[in-house]
Structure 1
Amino acid sequence: MNNIYNIKNKLFIAVFLLLLIVPNLVLIFGVESKIGDNENLKFKKFPKIDIKKPTQSLSSFKSYYLGNFGLKKTTVNQYINFKETVLKEEPLPNYNLTGKDGWYFLGNHYNNVFYDSFGMTGDNKTKEIINYLNRINQYLNSKNIKFYVIFPPNKHSIYSEYLPFQLEKKETLYNHLKRELEKNSTAQLIDLHSVLLKEKKENQLYYKTDSHWNDLGAFIAYQHIIDYIKKDISIQKLELKDYKVSTDFKVLGDNTQMVNIKEKTEVINFEKKTPSKIEVLSDDQKFLHFKNESKDYKLILYRDSFSNALIPFFNETFEDAIYIRNFKINKKDIENNNPDIVILELVERNINYLSKADLK
């Protein structure tokens, strides 16, 4: 009896040790590094350890381990497959929603993107945002710099008909802010919602499998932005005839990547027939800098990922273009670069971030 008890104990200990050791071996040898990513995150590199900064080093290692621990991808993949094939359920409903006709949308994990769509807004938040934009505008006006604000629409704001449920027509934070800005601010908001809702009747402007607009949607937004700026500054706008436009099909999308769907989606490609000679001064994604000697005016664009598709068009339009991956405008950026134009771009679902921002 004691022998059986000892064997059970040893087996339990052995299994327990295997559960501890195997995931770490998988991590050390990078076994999962080539497995498809189901969380829309890149495999993290081992952080630099600085003995002089133990707290920071420990925090970096913790972040690395939590993002890469062994068998994480395999386990999540199996969970997703089980939910989809056996239970016939949405595997990650808080991250991704499967819509109609092959359309996919972000879930509420992304800054409660749908709460606002149901009309959950607040006046205090709007006032704080307007105060922030007014402070920026006053500061830039004092330096004779033009300031514009753009909020690329949420995908479901343009294509709500493809959602798996019907949204009630209630006032969103964007609509409320737009109305209040017109009444209580001199900051210039360039409304992209109206033009994209109009143009979508003729063409698809967002990817079915990704949360962003496609290059055609970005080009239409670009033209609308430049048309607005032309009221203040004489600037040349790119036309569709300047480009060779083609389509192909690729596996693409932050939505479908999360749930292991590898289906191809239509991709629209823009190729400039006569491209400008553009010099890359910085390719750091947090601070991109381009020079185009054939054009005029200097631009600083504070941005998020929605500007990725705008950048090639702006590079063909401005002599000097700086793209800063941040929504907090910094006076040092302005004073060090002396732009003619500053644009603040932030996707609609993150507008509320501006309520906590400050001009420094």
Structure 2
Amino acid sequence: MSNYKKISQLLTIILFMALLIVPSTIMFFNPKEKKQNKNEEELSKIDRVNELFQKEFGLKTELIDSYFKFKNNINVSPLPNSCVVGKSGWYFLGNEYNNLFDDSFGYNTVIDSQELETIKNNIESMRSFLTSKGIDFKIVVPPNKHRVYPEYLPYSHPQKKTRLEILNDYLKKEIDFEIVYLRDTLVKAKSEKLLYYKTNTHWNDYGAYIGYNYTMKIINKTHDLPIAGIEEYEEVIQPIKVNDVTQQINLTFKEDAIFLQKKDTIATKIIFSKYHKQVFSNPSKTKTLLMHRDSFANAWMGFFNESFGTTIYLRGYKLNKELINKEKPDIVIFEMIERNLFENLSK
């Protein structure tokens, strides 16, 4: 055997041993503070070693991140059920979130008849209570990003009715109630400006304004409320703070987006502000809005505050009858993102 071949074999053995030894050495001598298992005293030595290997195996994070970056660089999602790599730098949530990718095409859409019945009864119960108090009730749904920008998805299916569209047909037929779905108005406006973030699941300020403007026009079919004009705001381009879609695969990107800032002094005052409840007062306006909402309404609040004297925002979708009797709102809105619609309304 030649010396070259012997050296080559020796180096291969050394490299193989290093791959076995180095990660374990890093794991045991890593200066990072290890979190103790709350039941550690109950674990055997073997169990503790197994747990340590599973949680702290040396270079685990670095290897996973490198794998994620490699897959992303070839436009393939490393976790397609969580994050789908789209075209031209766009990223979308996957089917892990209420089967939303498939449902965007009406693909693999199965709705239990009992679930439809439950949602119908819940809506009718809430509407009856609010109507008895002289309060208008609206359910307003911002669309999943997939439904506004399908051209950036990596592939598509033939378009069929989505779960929301099936539900809306059912509600109109059974109880003459229609969910306000903002997809069509956003699709019409998307040629003017970008409406959603590329690396975040939410709409930007401009998309939120389009949704606000359309919702207020629906409300004003039975009311006469002021609507803030887009000319009252100036566009500011800033980096977004969170890439909540790409975080699913441990990747962060710098993305600049449109933010709308009021040109004149804002008359609205904060009365109360916690995570689950915010209350604002605008002395130049009169009527009261109570909105049950999710994170999509973060970009909405500044606009609706310009149309109402009092705006109350609550997390969650259970009517607080005591609060309603106290505040006597003129309008109650349930704002909820499309992917969580069935989950929220069937409770």
TM surpasses 0.5? yes
Tell me the SS of whatever aligns to 1:246.
Answer: strand
1:288 aligns to what?
A: 278
Contact 2:71 2:78 in 1 (8 A): no
Query: Counterpart of 2:256 in 1: which secondary structure?
Result: strand
Cα distance, 1:346–1:313 mapped onto 2, change above 3 Å? same
Contact 1:252 1:265 in 2 (8 A): no
Structure 1 residue 349: Cα displacement? 0.7
CA separation of 1:273/1:126 partners in 2, compared to 1, >3 Å: closer, same or farther?
same
Q: In the alignment, is residue 92 of structure 1 matched against residue 79 of structure 2? A: yes
Q: Does 1:239 align with 2:229?
A: yes
64, 67, 81: which one aligns with 2:66: 81
Contact in 2 for aligned 1:292/1:316 (Cα 8 Å): yes
Q: In the aligned structure 2, how far is the partner of 1:130 from the partner of 1:152?
A: 20
2:109 matches 1:120: yes
- 1:114, CA displacement in angstroms? 2.3
Tell me by how many angstroms 1:283 deviates.
1.3
For residues 210 and 233 of structure 1, do their structure 2 counterparts lie closer, same or farther at Cα, with a shift above 3 Å needed? same
How does 1:193-342 map onto structure 2 within 5 Å?
Answer: 193-250=183-240, 252-342=242-332
CA contact (8 A) 2:288 2:308 kept: yes
Taking structure 2 as the reference length, the TM-score comes to 0.79
- 2:33 corresponds to which of 25, 44, 47: 25
Contact 1:121/1:172, CA 8 A, preserved across alignment: no
Structure 1 spans left out of the alignment, 5+ residues: 1-14, 29-68
Deviation at 1:188, TM superposition (A): 4.7
* Conservation of the 8 A alpha-carbon contact between 2:68 and 2:249: no
Question: Matches of 1:73 and 1:185 in 2, distance apart?
Answer: 59
The change in CA–CA distance for 1:326 and 1:355 in structure 2 (over 3 A counts) is closer
Q: Percent identity?
A: 34
In structure 2, what is the equivalent of residue 5 of structure 1? none
1:66 is matched with none
In structure 1, how many angstroms separate the alpha carbons of the residues matched to 2:247 and 2:58? 12
Tell me, yes or no, if the aligned pair for 1:281 and 1:291 is still in contact at 8 Å. yes
2:200 and 2:221 mapped to 1: Cα distance? 33
Q: Residues 228-271 of structure 1, C-alpha deviation per residue, up to 9 Å, x if partnerless?
A: 10111110001111111232444642012333333222311111
CA contact (8 A) 1:156 1:163 kept: yes
Q: Structure 1 residue aligned with 2:135, among 138, 141, 145?
A: 145
Q: CA deviation at 1:76?
A: 4.1
SS in 2 for 1:236: coil
Q: CA deviation at 1:348?
A: 0.6
CA distance in 1 between counterparts of 2:77 and 2:246 reads 12
Structure 2 CA distance for partners of 1:215 and 1:191, relative to 1, 3 Å: same
2:120 is aligned to 130
Closer/same/farther in 2, CA of residues 237 and 164 from structure 1, 3 Å limit:
same
Aligned residues: 304
Query: Secondary structure at the residue paired with 1:167?
Result: coil
Q: Evaluate the alpha carbon distance shift between residue 250 and residue 298 of structure 1 in structure 2; reply closer, same or farther with a 3 A threshold.
A: closer
Residues 137 and 186, structure 1, Cα contact 8 Å, conserved in 2: no
Residue by residue, what CA displacement relative to the aligned partner does 1:45-80 show, whole Å, maximum 9, x if unpaired? xxxxxxxxxxxxxxxxxxxxxxxx985997445313
CA 76–344 in structure 1, closer or farther in 2 if over 3 Å, else same: farther
1:103 aligns with 2:76: no
Equivalent-residue separation in structure 1 for 2:301 and 2:58 (angstroms): 33
Quote the offset at 1:309 in angstroms. 0.6
Alpha-carbon distance between aligned partners in 2 of 1:19 and 1:247, rounded to the nearest angstrom = 43
Contact (CA 8 Å) 2:25, 2:58: kept in 1 or not? Answer: no
* CA pair 141-250 structure 1, distance change in 2 beyond 3 A: closer
- Are the aligned partners of 2:69 and 2:251 in contact in 1 as well (CA < 8 Å)? no
Counterpart position of 1:31:
none
Structure 2: where are the runs of 5+ without partners? 1-22, 37-53
Q: Match of 1:95, as an amino acid?
A: S
Distance in 1, Cα, partners of 2:247 & 2:71: 20
Larger radius of gyration: 2
- The answer to whether the 8 A contact 2:289-2:311 is kept is yes
The answer for the alignment partner of 2:51 in structure 1 is none
